[in-house]
């Protein structure tokens, strides 16, 4: 190892780093030349030199290294020999790149062919467009207009364009979190790393305040705003490692519950008002929710349950649909003719609550239901469904609360018991003031309780029953005053429109190491690295949202006969995935 020449004693002055390097080069050359097998090179622990260069200044005599260098050497040696066996999630040092699976190879070929196909079609269309381009009449000097002024974009070209862009994006995903090309760093929580960004985005959100197009309770702009600021807070929570701080953890759990509350509220309102229980609606929702996750499962070789939030929202959507679509179908139009239908719907909701209560206290029955094939393929993680049971149980009542809130709100709205005019309070001044006071007290009471929790297990047991208190308090604070209900933050609403994509994409291209670490694109400059990776991450999420919307229009047509054919093709696609997955498992064993 190198020495610190300035600190060497007179008797050691002849030891120089230049001579040490010369001796090391000679030693390596002789060792490799004397090796019986010319291909078997001697491995020199050269990183020891780099460590010594950083620590030798702390040496007592300039020759002997301090103990800190020994600890670092030992840590790196253990990483070299242990990480390839232990395969730690929170780091990628010294791990071999995982081999491509058969499904990943097929996906790579598919995206490559899509890119080639799109380029060929684009070149053909461009040549046709040039041939039909307007030319100048030499005699009159007037411009002749062609029959075709712009190239027509066919469905095939749009499809290939979407897959072309998606292929490039998935390549970036793979390079960030599977190819060991970029470094990852661990998270270290501090209060400032969480709360300062929160204050910053709140100021930005308030700065971009605009008037809403409508002033109804939980209108579209307001729900997008709600999703947006919640998603930004959750992202800051993840990158700062704030899950170690229990009060923050409990408040984040409320934000996740609020998203599920909106799922119950939104889908119930749609089915209740529109009465549309057609296959097209179901397929549209399922496609938009699951498309990105299915692609990531293939490209990143991860199980469906790994992206737990999408399975959670998907299952709850199907539960809402089944509850309202099963005979007798009770919708607002039918209930307006006879008030007894309202009691029929309440009976359905009570039956749903009973089923939820039964499953939440019968883990064995829950696991049996989701352990049957093919459900087991979707909901197992590490060979069991415990993670799925834990996630479902944690927010088991909040979707029901969202459905019940939607039913009560729409009933009050129909009977004109609330005032939703611009600037008007939701109720009379006296009632509105009382509700505001109760909401603020309830909101603060929950925050005080969450801050006084002793451990996560104890708090998680109470969370499903009490999280609705803070959610309802927020809704009332946000909607009872007319002036508050009439404005929204366009900044937060923009992020709210891509909130699902942001939540999923963070796993691999922002946090990386499957959310356990932080992606490092620019080593040595942490703030600049976060800014660059965040910009790319947000752009990618927005682009994926656009791709999903475009593909949903193509893959899920309104015509029932065409839709049925597409569903058969999708069933064949998943059957093929299962077949190749089974082949892959057999080859591993």
pLDDT in tens, 237-296: 999 999 989 999 999 999 999 999 999 999 999 999 999 999 999 999 999 999 999 999
Q: How far is CA 93 from CA 14, 80, 84, 187, 529, in A?
A: 38, 8, 9, 16, 19
Residue 391 pairs in a beta bridge with: none
Residue 251, both tokens? 């408040």
| Mean predicted lDDT score pLDDT of the chain | 88
pLDDT in tens, 392-420: 999 999 999 999 999 999 999 988 889 88
pLDDT of residue 149: 44
- Look at 65-69, 200-204, 403-407 and tell me which has the smallest mean pLDDT: 65-69
Q: What is the DSSP string of 356-382?
A: HHHHHT-HHHHHHHTTSTTHHHHH-BT
Rank 67-81, 91-105, 470-484 by mean pLDDT and report only the highest: 470-484
pTM here is 0.86
Averaged over 311-324, what is the pLDDT?
Answer: 96
pLDDT in tens, 535-572: 999 999 999 999 999 999 999 999 888 999 888 988 88
Q: Is 161 helix (H, G, I), strand (E, B) or coil?
A: helix
pLDDT in tens, 300-316: 999 999 999 999 999 99
pLDDT of residue 144: 44
DSSP-derived secondary structure letter, 511: S
Q: How far is CA 50 from CA 1, 19, 225, 520, in A?
A: 9, 17, 50, 21
Whether cis (ω within 30° of 0) applies to the bond prior to 558 is no
Distance CA 540, CA 237 (A): 20
- Identify whether the C-beta of residue 237 lies closer than 8 Å to the C-beta of residue 252: yes
Averaged over 467-484, what is the pLDDT?
Answer: 94
Distance CA 308, CA 157 (A): 33
Confidence label for 35 from pLDDT (cuts 50, 70 and 90): low
pLDDT in tens, 333-358: 888 877 888 899 999 999 999 999 99
DSSP-derived secondary structure letter, 44: P
């Amino acid at each position: 190892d190198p020495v610190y020449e300035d600190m060497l004693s007179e008797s050691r002055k002849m030891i120089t780093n230049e001579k040490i390097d010369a001796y090391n080069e000679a030693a390596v050359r002789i060792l490799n030349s004397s090796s019986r097998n010319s291909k078997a090179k001697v491995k020199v622990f050269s990183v020891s030199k780099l460590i010594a260069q950083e620590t030798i200044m702390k040496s007592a005599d300039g020759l002997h290294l301090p103990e800190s260098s020994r600890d670092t050497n030992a840590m790196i040696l253990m990483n070299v020999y242990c990480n390839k066996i232990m395969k730690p999630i929170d780091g990628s040092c010294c791990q071999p790149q995982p081999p491509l699976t058969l499904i990943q190879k097929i996906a790579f070929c598919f995206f490559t062919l899509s890119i080639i196909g799109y380029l060929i079609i684009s070149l053909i269309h461009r040549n046709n467009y040039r041939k039909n381009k307007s030319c100048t009449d030499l005699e009159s000097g007037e411009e002749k207009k062609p029959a075709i002024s712009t190239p027509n974009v066919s469905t095939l070209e749009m499809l290939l364009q979407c897959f072309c862009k998606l292929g490039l994006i998935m390549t970036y995903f793979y390079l960030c979190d599977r190819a060991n090309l970029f470094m990852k760093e661990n998270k270290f929580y501090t209060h400032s790393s969480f709360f300062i960004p929160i204050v910053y985005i709140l100021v930005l959100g308030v700065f971009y305040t605009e008037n809403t197009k409508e002033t109804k309770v939980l209108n579209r702009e307001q729900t997008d705003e709600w999703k947006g600021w919640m998603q930004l807070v959750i992202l800051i929570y993840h990158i700062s490692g704030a899950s170690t701080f229990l009060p923050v953890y409990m408040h984040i759990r409320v934000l996740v519950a609020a998203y599920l509350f909106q799922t119950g509220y939104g889908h119930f309102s749609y089915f209740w008002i529109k009465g549309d229980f057609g296959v097209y609606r179901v397929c549209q929702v399922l496609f938009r929710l699951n498309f990105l996750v299915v692609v990531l499962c293939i490209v990143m070789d991860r199980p469906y349950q790994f992206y737990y939030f999408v399975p959670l929202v998907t299952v709850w959507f199907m539960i809402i649909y089944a509850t309202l679509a099963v005979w007798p179908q009770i919708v607002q139009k039918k209930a307006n003719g006879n008030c007894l239908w309202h009691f029929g719907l309440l009976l359905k909701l009570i039956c749903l609550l009973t089923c939820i209560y039964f499953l939440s206290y019968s883990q064995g029955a829950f696991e049996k239901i989701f352990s049957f094939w093919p459900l087991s393929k979707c909901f197992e993680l590490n060979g069991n469904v415990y993670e799925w049971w834990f996630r479902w149980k944690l927010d088991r009542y909040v979707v029901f609360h969202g459905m019940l809130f939607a039913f009560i709100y729409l009933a009050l709205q129909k009977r004109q018991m609330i005032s939703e005019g611009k600037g008007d309070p939701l109720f009379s001044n006296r009632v509105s003031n009382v509700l505001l006071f109760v909401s603020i007290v309830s909101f603060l009471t929950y925050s005080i309780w969450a801050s006084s929790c002793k451990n996560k297990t104890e708090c998680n047991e109470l969370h499903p029953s009490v999280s609705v208190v803070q959610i309802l308090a927020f809704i009332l604070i946000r909607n009872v005053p007319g002036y508050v209900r009439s404005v929204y933050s366009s900044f937060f609403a923009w992020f709210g429109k891509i909130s699902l994509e942001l939540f999923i994409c963070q796993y691999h291209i922002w946090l990386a190491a499957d959310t356990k670490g932080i992606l490092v694109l620019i080593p040595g400059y942490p703030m600049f690295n976060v800014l660059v990776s965040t910009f790319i991450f947000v752009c990618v999420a927005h682009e994926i949202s656009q791709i999903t919307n475009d593909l949903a229009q193509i893959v899920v047509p309104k015509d029932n006969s065409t839709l049925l054919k597409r569903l058969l093709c999708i069933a064949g696609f998943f059957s093929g995935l299962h077949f190749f997955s089974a082949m892959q498992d057999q080859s591993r064993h």
